[in-house]
Amino acid sequence: MSTSSAYLTIAGLGVDVLYKDIKNLHISVYPPMGRVRVAAPERMDDDTIRRAVIQRLPWIRRQRDQLQAAERQDKRQMLSGETHYVWGERYRLDVSRTSGQHRVERSGTTLWVVASEGADADARFGVLDRWYRRELKAAIPPLLEKWEKRIGVQSSHFIVRRMKTKWGTCARESAALWFNPELAKKNPRCLEYIVVHELMHLMERTHGSRFVELMDQHLPDWRARREELNGAPLADEEWL
């Protein structure tokens, strides 16, 4: 069966469209971030797809809300033995070390979170969260330098900020970029994809055909990277 794909922005949502040899249109919402995918008949035009998505917006938003409010498999207790991820690698947490100088260390497959004696889960989580942010802030500048030159654009600055439904975003007017600290838990390939994606928005505002062509030109495997990122575990599932 032959297929082709497109990427549309509908009512502020990014929508993956997959054209197939089928009779009816189908809309799906996928974890972990509530990505919307439409399977459409091969000859269906964009306006028809837009109308169908808009008609289903209440349902789509309910599905996205449910994903984002999904039940945690375990509470965030920050106890030794829990599993955490750093740049796509899996580590076992160890909080048995204490010190007045808070820090995070990696050794083999162990992630040491060192906090003050008597520190509770919130305090240990704060130590780890700040460390993730530092990791991300150190990884982004080399990627920006690399891709700004290749693409021919210039961002003004970047901010690491937690977002509920986005890995990154771009403010075209100020050329500022935002990145979700959760990216420090994912494979570095995923961060590079988000950097390229947001820089590309400095050239093209929407996710239309020109945006897709530019992404294909500069990062041919961007779809595979996007699938890898969107298939990664929810943040709250990583505290197992």
Instruction: Tell me the pLDDT tens digit for each residue of 132-153.
Output: 999 999 999 999 999 999 999 9
CATH number at residue 230: 3.30.2010.10
- Crossing angle of helices 121-151 and 188-200, rounded to 10°: 50
169 - beta bridge partners?
A: 178
The answer on 113 and 88 residing in a single domain is yes
Residues 116 and 59 in one domain: no
How many CA atoms within 13 Å lie on the side-chain side of 23?
0
What's the pLDDT score for residue 67?
74
How many structural domains are present in the chain? 2
Find residue 37's DSSP bridge partners: 16, 28
Residues 61 and 170 in one domain: no
pLDDT category at 127 given cuts 50, 70, 90 is very high
Mean pLDDT, to the nearest integer, of 110-114? 97
* Mean pLDDT of the region 84-92: 94
Residue 211 lies in a domain: yes
167: containing domain: 83-238
In this model, does residue 232 exceed pLDDT 70? no
The answer on 15 and 102 residing in a single domain is no
- Which has more pLDDT, 207 or 97? 97
Task: Give 93's pLDDT tier (boundaries 50, 70, 90).
Answer: very high
**pLDDT attached to residue 64:** 84
Q: What is the pTM of this model?
A: 0.73
The answer to whether residues 92 and 172 belong to one domain is yes
